[in-house]
């Protein structure tokens, strides 16, 4: 396991690292993060000590221009790569992080929004975004969710099972409408981390199996259903994927199914190749391919299929979540208790912060690694082997397992943890009755509240006594 260094010199090096294509795709810190002359970290012109004084801690700090630029980069890359085909749509996967303003920014950059629940869909609608800019996912959609999707005219509902196919047909029939649907196929390709497996591992809850023939049965049934408008096939192979190989393999499998459908006279004008594009959390993570590289690879697979099948080119969608928002947001904690603990090879400094697994469950859930840096000052003290932990009643409440931090770190210092924008706030809980942190956006020296900090009174409001 690598030890990340949180020293100022290493962070300056990381911050200054040149990025391919100017896209900063390997960046761990957001684009406008810098160390000021006085030693403190600043994001988009806002020194983090000022932010802590005005907003308190823990606070999620979004570099909004960085998130927008990542969204724009995906959109440009897909538009360019798919121009010779029938064009492209980029759906931001709202589950990674969603607020009304964030959804508006994504739409302003030309993206659509993927939702997977009534709460997500209603958040986007409440932002004034039309249903036609949304997709609806989920392996167990409720009647209310399907009805809301039909009422608001979502672009497509992604059907996940034969059971759901019949359920959506029934609800659309009751309402006398046609539901635009994709079918989510299980390609047998599973990717995540740094590898992919193209075996028929299908023992999981999502999708319609290709290998057992369920996918083709679903295509025939959907094409024949009077209240379903089957417009496309969908595949999502995993998350935090750092190579194009799995996507290319899955695309080839989905396109072979599209070619089969074509032979049955079922025209499918769209395909959706899902999300899962990886980011770097620490310098030990590989630099992921750029959006441009992913887009070119996907478009090449589609072009090859068009050439072989003779079918009209499909419009291609993708659904990035993490790669847009993860590196654009850092978490700002205050340091509390600092404690040295003896371990086999010497000692380790435990640095406790004012949050933990309730605002970032990923280390406990996936053994995810992060790094951290002193945010309010630089220190010339020697670096110590440290572990950043939260304030919850679990020894697994770890924020950063291994990081080098200055020996003089003490109560009252500020600590920044980068790349927490995806599945951080979105997976936050109230464990130990901690309140969810605030989310603020910073841009050009200004701080904008996006999601206010919960109060204990908010939590007590649920308690009916």
Which residues are catalytically annotated? Answer: 393
In the bound complex, what is the minimum distance in angstroms from residue 303's beta carbon to ligand PLP? 23
In the bound complex, what is the minimum distance in angstroms from residue 450's beta carbon to ligand PLP? 19
Closest to ligand PLP by CB, 65 or 422: 422
In the bound complex, what is the minimum distance in angstroms from residue 136's beta carbon to ligand PLP? 11
Q: Which two tokens stand for residue 409?
A: 């770190």
Closest to ligand PLP by CB, 407 or 427: 427
How far apart, in whole angstroms, are the C-alpha atoms of residue 382 and residue 373?
A: 14
Closest to ligand PLP by CB, 6 or 320: 320
In the bound complex, what is the minimum distance in angstroms from residue 420's beta carbon to ligand PLP? 13
In the bound complex, what is the minimum distance in angstroms from residue 320's beta carbon to ligand PLP? 5
List residues binding ligand PLP (CB under 6 A): 93, 95-96, 137, 236, 239, 274-277, 319-323, 422
Closest to ligand PLP by CB, 201 or 347: 201
In the bound complex, what is the minimum distance in angstroms from residue 287's beta carbon to ligand PLP? 17
Closest to ligand PLP by CB, 275 or 291: 275
In the bound complex, what is the minimum distance in angstroms from residue 236's beta carbon to ligand PLP? 4
In the bound complex, what is the minimum distance in angstroms from residue 277's beta carbon to ligand PLP? 6
Closest to ligand PLP by CB, 271 or 447: 271
3-state secondary structure the chain: CCCEECCHHHHHHHHHCCCHHHCCCCCCCCCCEEECCCCCEEECCEEHHHHHHHHCCCEEEEEHHHHHHHHHHHHHHHHHHHCCCCCEEEEEECCCCCCHHHHHHHHHCCCEEEECCHHHHHHHHHCCCCHHHEEECCCCCCHHHHHHHHHCCCCEEEECCHHHHHHHHHHHHHHCCCEEEEEEEECCCEEEECEEECCCCCCCCCCEECCCCHHHHHHHHHHHCCCEEEEEEECCCEEEECCCHHHHHHHHHHHHHHHHHHHCCCCCCEEECCCCECCCCCCCCCCCCCHHHHHHHHHHHHHHHHHHHCCCCCEEEECCCHHHHHHHEEEEEEEEEEEEEEECCEEEEEEEECCCCCCCCHHHHHCCCCCCEECCCCCCCCEEEEEEECCCCCCCCEEEEEEEEECCCCCCCEEEECCCCCCCHHHCCCHHHCCCCEEEEEECCEEEEEECCCCHHHHHHCCCC
Question: Please, what's the b/e burial string for 386-420 (b: 16 or more CB within 10 A of its CB; e: otherwise)?
Answer: bbbbbbbeeeebbbbbbbbbbeebeeebbbbbbbb
Closest to ligand PLP by CB, 49 or 239: 239
Closest to ligand PLP by CB, 25 or 333: 25
């Amino acid at each position: 396991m690598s030890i990340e260094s949180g020293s100022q010199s290493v962070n300056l090096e990381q911050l200054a690292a040149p990025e391919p294509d100017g896209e900063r795709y390997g960046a761990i810190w957001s684009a406008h993060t810098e160390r000021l002359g006085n030693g403190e970290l600043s994001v988009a012109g806002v020194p983090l000590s000022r932010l802590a004084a005005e907003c308190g801690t823990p606070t999620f700090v979004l570099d909004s221009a960085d998130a927008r630029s990542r969204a724009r980069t995906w959109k440009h890359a897909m538009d360019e790569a798919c121009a010779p085909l029938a064009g492209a749509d980029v759906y931001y996967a709202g589950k990674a992080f969603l607020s009304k303003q964030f959804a508006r920014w994504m739409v302003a950059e030309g993206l659509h929004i993927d939702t997977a629940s009534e709460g997500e869909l209603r958040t986007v609608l409440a932002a004034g975004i039309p249903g036609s800019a949304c997709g609806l996912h989920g392996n167990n959609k409720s009647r209310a969710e399907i009805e809301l999707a039909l009422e608001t005219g979502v672009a497509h509902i992604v059907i996940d099972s034969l059971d759901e196919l019949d359920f959506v047909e029934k609800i659309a029939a009751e309402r006398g409408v046609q539901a635009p649907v994709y079918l989510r196929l299980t390609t047998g390709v599973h990717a995540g981390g740094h590898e992919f497996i193209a075996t028929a591992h299908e023992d999981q809850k999502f999708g319609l199996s290709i290998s057992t023939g369920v996918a083709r049965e679903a295509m025939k049934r959907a094409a024949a259903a009077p209240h379903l408008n089957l417009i496309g096939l969908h595949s999502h192979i995993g998350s935090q994927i750092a190579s194009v190989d799995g996507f290319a393999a899955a695309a080839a499998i989905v396109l072979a199914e599209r070619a089969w459908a074509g032979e049955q006279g079922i025209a499918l004008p769209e395909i959706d190749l899902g999300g899962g594009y990886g980011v770097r959390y620490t310098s030990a993570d590989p630099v992921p391919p750029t959006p441009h590289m992913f887009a070119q690879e996907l478009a090449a697979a589609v072009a090859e299929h068009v050439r072989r099948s003779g079918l009209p080119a499909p419009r291609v969608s993708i659904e990035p979540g993490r790669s847009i928002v993860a590196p654009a947001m850092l978490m700002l904690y205050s340091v509390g208790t600092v404690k040295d603990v003896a371990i086999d090879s010497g000692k380790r400094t435990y640095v406790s912060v004012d949050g933990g697994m309730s605002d970032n469950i990923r280390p406990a859930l996936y053994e995810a690694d992060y790094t951290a840096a002193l945010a309010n000052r630089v220190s010339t003290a020697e670096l110590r082997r440290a572990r950043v932990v939260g304030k919850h009643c679990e020894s697994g409440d770890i924020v950063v397992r291994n990081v080098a931090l200055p020996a003089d770190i003490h109560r009252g210092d500020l600590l920044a943890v980068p790349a927490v924008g995806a599945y951080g706030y979105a997976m936050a809980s109230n464990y130990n009755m901690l309140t969810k942190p605030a989310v603020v956006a910073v841009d050009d020296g200004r701080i904008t509240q996006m999601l206010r900090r919960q109060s204990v009174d908010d939590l007590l409001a649920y308690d009916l006594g």
